[in-house]
Amino acid sequence: MNLLNADLKILRSYLEDGRISAKELVQFYLDRINKYDDKLKSFVSINEDALSQAEKIDVKRRNGEKLPPMAGIPIALKDNMVTKGLRTTCSSHILENFDPVYDGTVAKQLKEEGFIILGKLNMDEFAMGSSCESSYFGKTKNPWDTERVPGGSSGGAAAAVSARLIPASLGSDTGGSIRQPASFCGIAGFKPTYGRVSRFGLVAFASSLDQIGPMTWNVQDSVELMKIIGKHDHHDSTSASKNSFEPYDKKLDNLKGIKIGVPEEYFKEGLSPEVEASVKDAIKHLESLGAEIINIRMPHTDYAVAVYYILATAEASSNLARYDGVRYGYRAEAENLSEMYVKTRSEGFGDEVKRRIMLGTYVLSAGYYDAYYLKAQRVRTLIKNDFLDAFAKVDAIVAPTSPTTAFKIGEKVEDPLSMYLSDIFTLSLNLFGGCGISVPCGFDSNNLPIGLQILGNYFDEAKILEIADCYQKNTAWHTKIPPEFE
């Protein structure tokens, strides 16, 4: 019984057939975490009640009680999704001991389906980063090369799934934070349309950009998780009123009739030759499966990084104002209220979070609002129109997920601009608000994974996932496990 490449459907069948108990399955993953995570640092917290929760499920199963579909299967969440009884830190000192009093919507939905939340996963502090190096709890390592980053900000989720420390996870994507680490770690990372998945209980970074999505080792598991979390939620005012996510009734055996756009702006200077070659090979593979490949233009792509780092930091400045030491979280010792505010935020936030708060406060300040923030909103509309024009001609857009494979730990820490450019191919989709997935499409000469990005229009999740699934049925990149963790 091979558990390492067993997807959610197979694990479910093992449990239902009695080939393994929920307790044994949970213990299997806890043993892998105990064995490997000191090296990876992918988990921030472990659910100490996981085994007892599994035992209760086993008793109910033996007694013939009706159980939810995923009863007994472990899963883990990025540590910016609130979970009752399991601390939620955002990998920050300021929330180091924050114990939420409620479950966020996605946590509640997973529990109702029978999942056991095994723990919370490391991340860049407050989801601000592209490398998972800014966590207060230590840097997460890439399972393919532990001297390299796993990507960010959902680096812990990507590393844990890649090393099979957990069968599946949820991350969040504000500017590529699901797709870029998925690319670096060789897994599938899916960002749904903005509003498709509830953000109730997601600690806010940039509220007009944040979106929760699945991070799994194959596309089919992302589909399974989207069936659970892709629903309207009245607790979230930005939750889409559209019907719940539904996968295609008929799975695609080929891509005949599918038009795929290739934007020339994503194949320019700065793109690694090895990444470019693998992505172009993947595009040829899609064409061999019947897709029609169409060259397209997205002329405002070059402005995406500047626009994103104005709008995202402005929203972060507003959202993070609540962490002041008064109501919850870390509070510094001080002689008066003003000093307490300053010391709490100075000691509680890391350098990257402070950098973004200051930048966001600056662009929102009197005299600079029109020059920066308002102008960025206008350019965001132009970027959005690029996507709408493209989707009038094609069903999906393909591009590299990241311009390079995983870089060395420490390589970009002292150069924030270089770090920000790591997300140059993913930011635009968040500004647009559509859906997209990264799937592995090859390896470079250092045996590091390369990601192919497939982007879709608003609420076209089913189509994008089916294209990605069709690609995976005809390739084997996603089945590979980092050698050290087999």
Q: What is the pLDDT of residues 403-448, one digit of tens each?
A: 999 999 999 998 988 899 889 999 999 999 999 999 999 999 999 9
> Which single residue is written with the structure tokens 């320019």?
268
Question: For all residues of the chain together, what is the average pLDDT?
Answer: 97
Rounded to whole angstroms, the Cα distance separating 173 from 238 reads 16
- Collapsing DSSP states into helix, strand and coil, what is residue 216? strand
What is the chain's Cα-based Rg? 21
> What is the tens place of the pLDDT at every residue in 350-386?
999 999 999 999 999 998 999 999 999 999 999 999 9
Predicted confidence at residue 249, as pLDDT, reads 64
98-131 residue pLDDT tens: 999 999 999 999 999 999 999 999 999 999 999 9
Q: Which domains does the chain have, with CATH numbers?
A: 8-253 (3.90.1300.10), 305-374 (no CATH)
**DSSP alpha helix (H) spans, 41-178:** 50-62, 105-112, 155-162
Amino acid present at 80: N
What is d(CA 147, CA 210) in angstroms, rounded to the nearest whole number? 29
C-alpha–C-alpha distance, residues 83 and 119, integer Å:
10
Antiparallel, parallel or unpaired: β 168-172 and 74-78: parallel
Res 204 pLDDT > 70: yes
Instruction: Look at residue 389 and tell me whether its pLDDT is greater than 90.
Output: yes
DSSP line for 256-317: TT-EEEEEGGGSSTTS-HHHHHHHHHHHHHHHHTTPEEEEE--TTGGGHHHHHHHHHHHHHH
Place of tokens 């008064």: 326
Q: Rounded distance, CA 31 to CA 333, Å?
A: 40
The CA distance from 385 to 408, in Å, is: 36
What is the per-residue pLDDT for 269? 87
| Res. 271 pLDDT band, cuts 50 70 90 | very high
The tens digit of pLDDT for each residue in 143-200 reads: 999 999 999 999 999 999 999 999 999 999 999 999 999 999 999 999 999 999 999 9
What is the model's pLDDT at position 348?
97
C-alpha–C-alpha distance, residues 292 and 303, integer Å: 28
Segment (H or E) for 337? helix 337-348
d(CA 150, CA 82): 23
Question: Residue 290 — φ and ψ, nearest 5°?
Answer: 115, -5
**Interatomic CA distance for residues 456 and 96, integer angstroms:** 37
Q: Tell me, what's the pLDDT at 250? A: 65
Instruction: Enter the tokens of residue 181.
Output: 């680490």
Q: What is the mean pLDDT of residues 218-224?
A: 97
Instruction: Taking residues 326-345, report their average pLDDT.
Output: 95
| Residue 415 burial class via C-beta count within 10 angstroms: exposed 0-12, middle 13-18, buried 19 and up | exposed
Least confident of 42-51, 277-286, 419-428: 419-428
d(CA 363, CA 369): 6
- Are the CB atoms for 82 and 107 separated by under 8 Å? yes
Confidence class for position 247, pLDDT limits 50, 70, 90: confident
* pLDDT score of 478: 97
Q: What is the model's pLDDT at position 104?
A: 98
pLDDT of residue 396: 98
The pTM of the full predicted model, rounded to 2 decimals, is 0.97
For residue 262, pLDDT beyond 90: yes
Distances 425 to 149, 157, 164, 301, 352 between C-alpha atoms, Å? 18, 20, 27, 9, 21
Can you give the length of the chain in residues? 486
> Which residues are catalytically annotated?
78, 153, 177
- Among left, alpha and beta (phi > 0; psi -120 to 50; other), residue 178 is alpha
Angle between helices 105-112 and 219-229 (to 10 degrees): 110
